[in-house]
Copies of this chain bind each other. A is one copy, B any other.
Amino acid sequence: MVEDTTAPQIEEYLRASDQAFATWSQTPAAERADVLDVVADALDAAGETLIPVAMRETNLPEARLTGELKRTTFQLRLFGQVLREGTWYDARIDHADADWPMGAPRPDLRRTHIPLGPILVFSASNFPFAFSVAGGDTASALAGGNSVIVKAHSGHLELSALTGEVINKALAEAGAPEGLFHVVFGTEAGKSALLDSRVKGSGFTGSIPGGRALFDLANSRPEPIPFYGELGSNNPVFVTQQAAKLRGESIASEFIGSFTMGAGQFCTKPGTLFIPRNSGMREALATAALPQGAKLLNSRIQSGYVEVLEALSGHAATEVLVQGSDPLADPPSPTLLVTSIEDLLADPNALQAECFGPTAMVVEYDDEAQLVAAASTFEGQLTATLQAEESDDVAQLVRVVASKAGRVLWNQWPTGVSVTYAQQHGGPYPATTAAGSTSVGTAAIARFVRPVAFQNFPQHLLPAELQDANPLSNPRLVDGRPVS
């Protein structure tokens, strides 16, 4: 039993977090990288303690959690590598130029990025490691030089507390400032921290209503702060006529694998599959073997899932294409619904609702031009996927889905978000509250830093990444030209 954090405790944590920030923000990036490595090692070493607790609290299987922990510690080390390599500074140096054609001399200007302050992270239910206490928001905020307070998700409180202990022990061993990292518990604790003037930014992964409420709260402050919320996504998949003809059966089986992976509890779960009518794909899907049902993360997710599934399957325009024996039971067996593109276009809001769990919607179309029309009706998405052939004329469809989504896939599946330099896990609202950012990949560090320019400064008072001698050997934009 983990108790809610009390108001006096939160006050003490905020004070400590603010104080730790003063030291951590001035710690050289390479030293911060070393600290992240120590934390990653400690988490790897604690796997045998943490994973059984995660299994018990989240119903997720051991293999999945083992892989997720590996991904989580890889992510911490990758941000360390980012810190050592230095592109994240986006360091820019303009030398003074008396003949600058603006009409006035250009002063010596040098721009880098500095951390924001204490960052409040609202962790997710569905990735108890990778998007939770030691997850991407924490890793990128710490990397950027911020202190971090994580509001634990109610779905895995004990794991959150244990993970926090592992992190804090490692931070202490690595010589990080005391108070750099805290975990708090309870809805009120999260809200009161979000409203505290010492908190300078926030990350969130969760539902649309929950995320929107916190976004509104962050913006209601006398001093509003950036709120990076990842909320909801349907992740539509568009199958062209040719692709259906050439590989309809394998697309069908891969789709089933993707939407039922992790019991459908991924923000990138493909929720809608557009297939050509009379292509044989409907039959392939209807007769495919669905996997067994698996217990969902917790009882709140289970009841929410049943509610949305009942609404979707009760909609006049849908029918069940295939489902297991116990679609509404606990655990629920998977369900595939089917509708027509005409019906989808007639009621997009209802039929494009995200269903968090092992349900997806198949949409039959006649003409590929309809796909462009349907894609246009979607709200902002984390991902959109084309299953198509290279000779297909899909340039317009690609443009439309790119205008809706943060990541567009070609003949792959959106579940499984790789942590890389070029990853983009974001998208227009309601996929996120900040489409200009990503919560996965090395660019995620940009959320928790801001630019500052130094004008006419003496070398010894400049941050190292802006000094002429370039002691960190980091890539820079010098007088408008990249120098690496």
Encode A262-274 as 1/0 by CB contact (under 8 A) with B: 0000000000000
Contacts A74-B102, A410-B458, A461-B398 given; indicate if A110 touches B429 (C-beta within 8 A). no
Residue pair B94, A421 in contact (C-beta under 8 Å) = yes
How far is B458's CA from A395's CA once the two chains are assembled, in angstroms? Answer: 11
Q: Which of B412, B421, B426 lies in contact with A479, CB distance below 8 A?
A: B421
Q: Collect the chain B residues with CB atoms within 8 Å of residue A419's CB.
A: 102
Interface centre among A103, A110, A402, A437 (most CB of B within 10 A): A103
Q: Which of B90, B409, B423 lies in contact with A456, CB distance below 8 A?
A: B409
Q: Collect the chain B residues with CB atoms within 8 Å of residue A407's CB.
A: 452-455
How far is B406's CA from A449's CA once the two chains are assembled, in angstroms? Answer: 12
Q: Which of B75, B402, B409, B434 lies in contact with A114, CB distance below 8 A?
A: B402
Residue pair B453, A446 in contact (C-beta under 8 Å) = no
Binds B, one of A216-224, A246-254, A302-310, A317-325: A216-224
Residue pair B458, A424 in contact (C-beta under 8 Å) = no
Residue pair A71, B102 in contact (C-beta under 8 Å) = yes
Contacts A408-B452, A409-B455, A455-B409 given; indicate if A109 touches B226 (C-beta within 8 A). no
| A432-484 CB contacts (< 8 Å) to partner B | 433-438, 442-443, 446-447, 449-458, 460-461, 475, 477, 479-484
Q: Does A8 contact B (CB under 8 A)?
A: no
Q: Does A93 contact B (CB under 8 A)?
A: yes
How far is B456's CA from A390's CA once the two chains are assembled, in angstroms? Answer: 12
How far is B421's CA from A479's CA once the two chains are assembled, in angstroms? Answer: 7
Q: Does A299 contact B (CB under 8 A)?
A: no
How far is B405's CA from A450's CA once the two chains are assembled, in angstroms? Answer: 10
Residue pair A452, B418 in contact (C-beta under 8 Å) = no
Residue pair A418, B102 in contact (C-beta under 8 Å) = yes
Encode A255-283 as 1/0 by CB contact (under 8 A) with B: 00000000000000000000000000000
Contacts A111-B422, A460-B390 given; indicate if A454 touches B74 (C-beta within 8 A). no
Q: Identify the closest chain B residue to A424 (Cβ).
A: B453
Residue pair A438, B458 in contact (C-beta under 8 Å) = no
Q: Identify the closest chain B residue to A459 (Cβ).
A: B390
Contacts A435-B450, A436-B450 given; indicate if A67 touches B104 (C-beta within 8 A). yes
Q: Which of B101, B412, B437 lies in contact with A455, CB distance below 8 A?
A: B412
Residue pair B429, A452 in contact (C-beta under 8 Å) = no
Interface centre among A93, A435, A438 (most CB of B within 10 A): A435
Q: Identify the closest chain B residue to A453 (Cβ).
A: B424
Interface residues on A, range: 35 or more
Q: Does A106 contact B (CB under 8 A)?
A: yes
Tell me how many chains of this kind the complex includes: 2
Q: Identify the closest chain B residue to A78 (Cβ).
A: B102
Contacts A102-B70, A453-B406, A454-B408 given; indicate if A223 touches B421 (C-beta within 8 A). no
Residue pair A436, B451 in contact (C-beta under 8 Å) = yes
Q: Collect the chain B residues with CB atoms within 8 Å of residue A420's CB.
A: 94, 100, 106, 109
Contacts A416-B104, A453-B408, A455-B408 given; indicate if A423 touches B477 (C-beta within 8 A). no
How far is B429's CA from A403's CA once the two chains are assembled, in angstroms? Answer: 30
How far is B423's CA from A449's CA once the two chains are assembled, in angstroms? Answer: 16
Residue pair A452, B405 in contact (C-beta under 8 Å) = yes
Cβ distance A62 to chain B, nearest Cβ, rounded Å: 14
Give the B-binding residues of A (Cβ under 8 A).
Answer: 25-26, 67, 70-71, 74-75, 81, 85, 87, 90, 92-94, 100-104, 106-107, 109-111, 114, 116, 215-216, 219, 223-226, 379-380, 390, 394-395, 398-399, 402-403, 405-412, 416, 418-424, 426, 428-430, 433-438, 442-443, 446-447, 449-458, 460-461, 475, 477, 479-484
**10 more CB-based (< 8 A) A-B contacts, given A106-B418, A107-B418:** A71-B103, A71-B104, A223-B429, A226-B434, A408-B452, A421-B477, A421-B479, A424-B451, A436-B449, A438-B451
- 24 A-B pairs whose Cβ atoms sit less than 8 Å apart in the complex: A70-B102, A70-B103, A71-B102, A71-B103, A90-B443, A92-B421, A93-B422, A94-B423, A104-B418, A106-B420, A111-B422, A223-B429, A402-B454, A407-B452, A408-B455, A408-B457, A410-B455, A411-B456, A412-B455, A424-B451, A428-B450, A438-B451, A443-B451, A482-B484
**Which 7 pairs, one residue from A and one from B, show the smallest C-beta to C-beta distance?**
A424-B453, A92-B422, A482-B484, A111-B422, A109-B422, A94-B422, A70-B103
